[in-house]
Amino acid sequence: MSIKNIKNLKEFSTANERFEGSHLMCPGCAHTMIVRELMNATDDNLVISCNTGCLEVGTAVYPFTSWDTSWIHVGFENAPSAISGAEAMYKTRLRKGSLKAPKDPVKFVTFGGDGSTYDIGFQWLSGAVERGHDFTYICLDNENYANTGGQRSSSTPIGASTSTSPAGRVSYGEKNKKKDIVAIMAAHGAPYVAQLSPNKWKSMAKGFQKALETEGPCFINTVSPCTTEWKFAPKDTIHLADLATDSLMFPLYEIIDGHELNILYRPKNIIKVEDYLAAQGRYKHLFKPENKHVIEQIQKDIDAKWEHLQRREEARI
Interface contacts to ligand SF4, rule CB under 6 A: 25-26, 29, 31, 54, 58, 142, 146, 226-229
Three-class secondary structure of residue 44 per DSSP: coil
113 binds ligand TPP (CB under 6 A): yes
Residue 167, contacted partner among ligand SF4, ligand TPP, Mg ion, none, CB below 5-8 A by kind: none
- Residue pair 129/216 in contact (Cβ under 8 Å)? The answer is no
Residue whose CB is less far from ligand SF4, 112 or 191: 112
Compare residues 142 and 153 and give the one whose CB is closer to ligand SF4: 142
Instruction: Identify the H or E element spanning 122.
Output: helix 122-131
Q: Which of 77, 87, 246, 254 binds ligand TPP (CB under 6 A)?
A: 77
Q: Which one of 12, 19, 67, 76 is in contact with ligand TPP (CB under 6 A)?
A: 76
The three-state secondary structure class of 25 is coil
276 in contact with ligand TPP (CB under 6 A): no
Secondary structure (3-state) at 95: helix
For ligand TPP, give the closer residue by CB, 25 or 278: 25
**Residue among 200, 232, 26, 30 at smallest CA distance from 111:** 30
Answer with the entry of ligand SF4, ligand TPP, Mg ion, none that 59 interacts with (C-beta below 5 to 8 A by kind): none
Quick one: 67 or 145, whose CB is closer to ligand TPP?
A: 145
* Spatial separation of the C-alpha atoms in residues 52 and 147, rounded to whole Å: 9
| 229 lies in the site for Mg ion, by CB under 5 A | no
Integer-rounded Cα radius of gyration of the chain: 19
**Euclidean distance between CA atoms 41 and 2, whole angstroms:** 9
Binding flag, residue 142, ligand TPP (CB under 6 A): yes
- Give which of 61, 59, 69, 10 is closest to 38, Cα–Cα: 69
Region binding Mg ion by CB under 5 A among candidate stretches 109-117, 194-202, 244-252, 285-293: 109-117
Q: Which is nearer to ligand SF4, 54 or 302 (CB)?
A: 54
Report how far residue 243's alpha carbon sits from residue 137's, in angstroms, rounded to the nearest whole number: 25
On the 0-12 / 13-18 / 19+ scale of CB atoms within 10 A, 29 is buried
Burial of 170 (0-12, 13-18, 19+ CB in 10 A): exposed
> Which residues, other chains included, contact 236 with Cβ-Cβ below 8 Å and sequence gap of 6+?
28, 227, 279
What does the alpha-carbon distance between residue 165 and residue 214 come to, in Å, rounded to a whole number? 39
Query: How far, rounded to the nearest angstrom, does the alpha carbon of residue 305 sit from its chain's CA centroid?
Result: 19
Q: Which does 25 bind (CB under 5 to 8 A by kind): Mg ion, ligand SF4, ligand TPP, none?
A: ligand SF4
146 vs 295, beta carbon nearer ligand SF4 = 146
**Of positions 28, 80, 112, 113, contacts Mg ion by CB under 5 A:** 113
Contact positions with Mg ion (CB under 5 A) in 114-173: 114-115, 142, 146
Closest separation in Å from C-beta 67 to ligand SF4: 16
227: partner contacted, choices Mg ion, ligand SF4, ligand TPP, none (Cβ within 5-8 A by kind): ligand SF4
Contact residues for ligand TPP (CB under 6 A)? 52-55, 76-77, 113-116, 120, 140, 142, 144-148, 153
